[in-house]
Structure 1
């Protein structure tokens, strides 16, 4: 069996006395699309922060394509091959659509400061190559005609797609999508679903997806992991997850939970 793109074993983090994520285990194969779902506050984004170096794990380890990654800083994680999007869009809004993508190509430039100052042949050659690559990426998302537009002037759905295009420009092995359909209408969500399908076919990269839109998750994911209070409570195919009693209870609450809440005066709201 080939080495998985991502392997995490007993990954976790504690903030003070609170265990935000505990004993998180996952493997993702090359080109595989895996979902990570759970109620609000379950720890999904914390997992992403652990995998991208925003947080340092207090327990466990993880590997990217066989290389140990625990404890590495964010820029080291990106260089190794993990890129992400965010719940709240984080574009360079005063820059153009194309410039947002070109920023992610930064590691590909090799002409140096001198080449940039004196506009050497290498500078112009690489600038042309990066421009062509940026436009090619933007075409996938139907944004090539907006290359010169400031990012802040794009509609919300197109800003979401630009953020994904910028992540792809890093040349990653694993793409982490944090609620990419958040705030989208059904038409935009359907468009996003088509884009994700195209990305997988064209680039063959692995994707870990956090998403509350269950129709999207069930349509694109091959496997799904479910978090609740920082721990994985279920893992399986979309069909298995949809019929799992623990998952249903986590999302909807069980009769026992309702009785407990009534008995202790707790209003049932999750932290």
Structure 2
């Protein structure tokens, strides 16, 4: 039984080295139940690498982390999901040939308890559980205004709705911690505003902890309670949105063009400065 006073996520001195490159070093973070924390930084700062460490894609070469008091080092990805960490990706990864509802039902896999024989012979127990899962799926889709598209093939949804379906599917795993990797990427301002409302609804309704990577600083500043900033794989600042917006080191990290090679391992070229983000930060600092 989990202790209500202990953090949902606790990472201590977490890091990983690829060859001679320290992609992430001495990463520390605590997230409590119901908190929404932002993880930001210039391109190649190591943000997605942190997500890969927390979800078992990479094994840390230093440090430890715990989910609700359970040590997670060395867990495989499916074990991490079962323990209670779910994520979305920068590039949408839906089952495009399945319907909207079927994408959510896939995530309910662990909730189905009937046996193969019940499924083959369509017993009353089978239909009872199928109906229960259907209602749960529709309830989740309703949060994102997708219930009317339940029978639509996922590939046929507009981009913004595909993003929301991916979040709905993550919620269906019954997680304790939701990792959102650039959920607003590719969205127009109206879709981003709608997403902001959905994220707030998720936090308020389910009380789950959320860790958010996002380049849309207006969204980050609006929704996050605390923000942690990475640069060159190290934390350079942590605090409230107001504190981050007024932090000279953070502003310098975004405005500076002399960035390290991509710490996420996606590029060997130097990252370009991100003026739109820096502009938001500097405007917030005035």
Tell me how far 1:253 sits from its aligned partner.
Answer: 1.3
Is 1:37 equivalent to 2:37 in the alignment? no
For 1:17 and 1:187, how far apart are their aligned partners in 2?
A: 44
Residue segments in structure 1 that go unaligned for 5+ positions in a row: 259-267
Aligned to 1:148: 151
5+ residue gaps, structure 2, are 260-268, 273-286
Alpha-carbon distance in 2 for matches of 1:229, 1:153:
39
Partner of 2:64: 61
Match for residue 187 of structure 1 among 170, 176, 190: 190
Shift of 1:151: 0.2
- Compute the TM-score of the two structures, normalised by the length of structure 2: 0.89
Following TM superposition, the consecutive aligned residue runs of length 4 or more in structure 1 with deviations greater than 4 angstroms are none
- SS at 1:164's partner residue? helix
Q: Deviations over 1:218-264 (max 9, x none)?
A: 0000000000011000000000000101100100018xx59xxxxxx
1:77 and 2:97 equivalent? Answer: no
- Matching residue of 2:277: none
2: CA distance, partners of 1:110 / 1:149: 27
- Alpha-carbon distance, 1:120 to partner: 1.5
In structure 2, the residue matched to 1:122 is 125
- Quote the Cα distance in structure 2 between the aligned partners of 1:126 and 1:62: 36
Q: Spell out the pairing of 1:8-27 with structure 2 (5 A cutoff).
A: 8-27=11-30
Give the secondary structure class of the aligned counterpart of 2:98. coil
RMSD: 1.4
TM-score scaled by structure 1?
Answer: 0.94
